[in-house]
Amino acid sequence: MLALGIRYLNGFSAASESDNRAQAEWPPHPGRVFMALAAAHFQTGADPAERQALLWLEALERNGQPAAPSIVASQEIQRDVVRHYVPVNDKPIWKKDPAKPKKKPEPPLQSAPGIMRNRNERTFTRAWLENDTVYLIWPEVDPDESVRFALEGLCAKVTRIGHSSSLVQMWLARPEEIGDPNWVPDEDRAEVRLRLAPSGTLEYLEQRYNEKAVETFTALKVTAENASDKKAQKKAKKRLEEEFSNGPPAQLRPQLSFYQGYARPQGASMTSSAPGTVFSPHLIILKLEREEGVYRQLDLACVPAVTQRWREALLSQCNDLSPAVRTTLSGHDIDGNPLDSPHLAFVPLAFVGHEHADGHLVGMGLAFLKDLPPDDRRGVLQAVNRVRRLKIGRLGIWRVEAVTEAQPPWNLRAGVCTAHPEGAAQWSTVTPVVFDRHPKSKDRRAYQLEVAAMVAQCCLRIGLPQPREIIATPVSAHLGTPPSHAFPRLLRKDGSQRRHTHAILVFDEPVCGPILIGAGRYRGYGLCRPLDGLHAGKTER
């Protein structure tokens, strides 16, 4: 086994997500840890044995893919991002002497009144940690003594991971000190996406670091400023002009682009024998945080506006992805025709089902198909990770954040909507079921039977058994849920409004969700949550 131990000496991690400077990165990405090891290698003489150890580490594979480590990382507390204004380098103001206009003025001193100190805005993202120690574990890997010795020496040289204030101590950990991982590689149930360092990363980092050019420029600069050897000085100045245009060579920030999905460990008890739907019970959970606007919270009646804007944002980020990914996100084929097969669906997550519930929207789950190919899933997740802000008109601007807590709030857990793995027999809608067609019956009893038959057909359409009982009702059985008339009507292609209703479903046996039924099932309508025991009475938001 190989395990890297990392202790955050200040009790916090200061590192931001690569595509969102306002979001703290946690758990630490294995790719960032590898870059910290590589930086220590470059800055301390580039020992050949250390280089071989890094090449060995990046070449680790599992099933033809880079070997992703399991991670032991405690829950973090995200600190609000605070804007700081940091002075930059002094900017002199040259003042000519009127009495000596041809003479070049002397540069002012640091404390001279001619100095301008502009202040640039900076933000520093931090995550405060419940436990300051993290472990990256490759349980099936056993390096030889030379590699282990080189890695041990390299770990001792690492002083920070992320920002310069994110001071760390790093070492090769022993099995007895580690404990059980709480994040494991799992693409099918992925809750977060972490960057890895695949084979070729070290060479890529060397190119970005541009060490040879930097050393050459520095040597030429020293020679060009040494007037003791005029010939060498002249030659050095000429090379600086020709090779570097009298400016330092570029050193570029590296960008790792290989991502791996991670999920919390799944025990044997998580295997379900209850019937499910065409959607996977392993939802991608994202929370909504207010950034700007007049509303402190969004309610369930905002679901159509939120899902419409979210889908548009996802589609705007998938132009470089495969047609299959765009089809999965849009629900339309390449010719623009609606798909007959299921595709990505939005699952509204709200504070309901408790005596103090107010029905406000806390986040959104993304429901994939059970049989979605892994490459398509990775592509969809790539688009999902690119959308970090939603501008929803008068509803304001909302941040989209991944849920990484070890124990997230109850209504931000997939099980609250899926009842996975044990299932539930009684369900009630949180958002109303939108009718596929307009009921024709005028008699109240016949109307109810027609609606019930329509809802039963919706259940069969997503792979569920037919319910034993269906009760159409204007109100939900979940406390805090608005009545059906409070939700905006969805429109048909001709502009007419569709009817909708809340419903209670009773099955002969427990079933697993997510249960999304009706004409608006991909846009967050027709969502059912279980009423049975454990899934109904939690007090956490």
Q: What is the pLDDT of residue 454?
A: 94
Instruction: Residue 343: name the closest of 256, 280, 258, 432 by CA.
Output: 280
Higher local confidence (pLDDT), 337 or 137: 137
Q: Are 342 and 462 in contact (CB under 8 A)?
A: yes
Question: What domains appear along the chain, each with residue ranges and CATH number?
Answer: 2-80+124-207+257-262 (3.30.70), 86-122 (no CATH), 217-244 (no CATH), 267-535 (no CATH)
Q: What is the pLDDT of residue 174?
A: 93
> Each residue of 487-504: pLDDT tens digit?
999 998 888 999 999 999
Q: What is the pLDDT of residue 89?
A: 56
Rounded distance, CA 76 to CA 17, Å?
A: 14
| Mean pLDDT of the region 398-411 | 80
Which token pair is 95?
């003042």
Mean pLDDT of the chain: 85
Rounded distance, CA 303 to CA 175, Å?
A: 48
- 379's CB contacts (< 8 A; 6+ apart) are 318, 321, 322, 324, 325
Distances (CA, A) of 179 to 12, 73, 136: 21, 10, 11
End-to-end CA distance of the chain: 40
> Each residue of 151-177: pLDDT tens digit?
999 999 999 998 888 999 999 999 999
Higher local confidence (pLDDT), 64 or 426: 426
| Mean pLDDT of the region 266-284 | 78
pLDDT band at 99 (very low <50, low <70, confident <90, very high): low
Which token pair is 198?
């695949």
∠ CA 70-252-61, rounded to 5°: 25
Exposure of 540 in the CB half-sphere (CA atoms within 13 A): 10
| Mean pLDDT of the region 69-85 | 73
Q: What is the pLDDT of residue 540?
A: 44
Q: Are 525 and 303 in contact (CB under 8 A)?
A: yes
| Mean pLDDT of the region 110-123 | 52
Lowest mean pLDDT of 217-231, 244-258, 517-531, name the range: 244-258
Q: What is the pLDDT of residue 109?
A: 47
Kindly report the pTM of this predicted structure. 0.68
Lowest mean pLDDT of 13-17, 80-84, 88-92, 275-279, name the range: 88-92
Instruction: Residue 527: name the closest of 478, 492, 489, 486 by CA.
Output: 478
Rounded distance, CA 336 to CA 330, Å?
A: 9
Pairing of strands 527-530, 515-516: antiparallel
Rounded distance, CA 201 to CA 198, Å?
A: 6
Residues in the chain: 541
Q: What is the pLDDT of residue 156?
A: 95
pLDDT band at 227 (very low <50, low <70, confident <90, very high): confident
Please state, for a pLDDT cut of 90, what percent of the chain lies above it. 52
Given a cut of 60, whether residue 508 has pLDDT beyond it is: yes
> Each residue of 277-334: pLDDT tens digit?
999 998 999 999 999 999 999 999 999 999 999 999 999 998 889 999 999 999 998 8
∠ CA 512-403-425, rounded to 5°: 15
Q: What is the pLDDT of residue 404?
A: 67
Number of alpha helices (DSSP H) and beta strands (DSSP E) in the chain: 11, 30
Higher local confidence (pLDDT), 82 or 359: 359
Q: Is the dihedral of CA 395, 397, 402, 408 positive or negative?
A: negative
Given a cut of 90, whether residue 437 has pLDDT beyond it is: no
For residue 27, whether the previous peptide bond is cis, meaning omega lies within 30 degrees of 0, is yes
Q: What is the pLDDT of residue 251?
A: 65
Given a cut of 50, whether residue 541 has pLDDT beyond it is: no
